[in-house]
Amino acid sequence: MNAITLNNGTDMPLVGMGTYPLNGLGFAMLVRKAVRMGYRSFDLASAYGNERWFGRGMRFCGKRRSELFVTTKLSNTEQRRGDVRAALQNSLARLGMKYVDLYLMHWPVPELYVSSWKQMEVLYREGVARAIGVCNFHQQHLKALLDAADVIPAVNQIELHPLLSQSGLVKVCKKEGIQVEAYSPFAQKHDRLIKNEVLATIAGRHQRTVPQVILRWDLQKGIVSVPRSSNPARLRENISIEDFALSDEEMNRIDLVNADFRVRCDPDNCDFSKL
């Protein structure tokens, strides 16, 4: 799978495996299958409660730790506790690892996210996180963070799909050297996306599925994506996007599908106490 180089020189695969809400022994076994299919990047979070099971699956996947790219996240509850070091140490213990490749702040909790970031910077310098970044940050959150930061976030993971292209935010991230990563790239399989006529027509032209066309659209834009599935056939489908390409005209048509439609919480209007 193609990789992109983050602003600190770390390479990150352009397609990874999302893991929420996968859990338990079945998830551990699925990790092993995914690695055999070619997955090298896995997106986890302490809030998902699945780090321990991922660690078990990884230990028997047949690959060295250095061959995998593992992301986990600082939860809102952990932010409120105020000890980011303890949060990451607990994640590492559950994962059975000495470091993570990417440590993300899950949400911009008001009044806390800047101080949380400063603690993350210390952990990054110590090498227990090869890269650090954020999730669900809008322009104003990034501005406040960058005004105080010594380390520019390597990644901003946001809800992004053809119905929510977030072009303005993507431009800001690109200007600042922050890699955009798309979660919910299929908008949770919402009919407005999966049955979209433009996407269906392009998929038919290439004899591909709509999800494959979406992932290819992300890839050609240089956007990292982490689709989630527990179905081995779909996992294989999601990673099989390197042997076709979308034309400029097709890319532009997909861009025009945008409707500013969200399936997840808007960071500007969230009740963070419930996340």
In this structure, is residue 3 part of a structural domain? no
In this structure, is residue 68 part of a structural domain? yes
- Find the domain containing 30 and state its range: 10-274
Q: Tell me the pLDDT tens digit for each residue of 194-227.
A: 999 999 999 999 999 999 999 999 999 999 999 9
Q: Tell me the pLDDT tens digit for each residue of 218-238.
A: 999 999 999 999 999 999 999
Domains held by the chain: number: 1
- What is the pLDDT, as a whole number, of residue 94? 98
- What is the pLDDT, as a whole number, of residue 125? 98
Average pLDDT over residues 65-93: 97
Average pLDDT over residues 92-118: 97
In this structure, is residue 244 part of a structural domain? yes
* Alpha helix segments (H runs only) across the chain: 24-37, 51-59, 76-81, 84-95, 113-126, 139-148, 167-176, 191-194, 197-206, 210-221, 232-239, 248-255
In this structure, is residue 4 part of a structural domain? no
In this structure, is residue 258 part of a structural domain? yes
- What is the pLDDT, as a whole number, of residue 271? 82
In this structure, is residue 255 part of a structural domain? yes
Q: 126 burial class (0-12, 13-18, 19+ CB within 10 angstroms)? A: exposed
Return d(Cα 231, Cα 233) in angstroms, integer.
5
CATH code for the domain of 21: 3.20.20.100
**Per the confidence metrics, is the pTM higher than 0.75?**
yes
In this structure, is residue 1 part of a structural domain? no
Which residues are marked as active site? Answer: 48
In this structure, is residue 197 part of a structural domain? yes
Q: Report how far Cα 3 is from the mean position of its chain's Cα atoms.
A: 14
What radius of gyration do the chain's Cα atoms show? 18
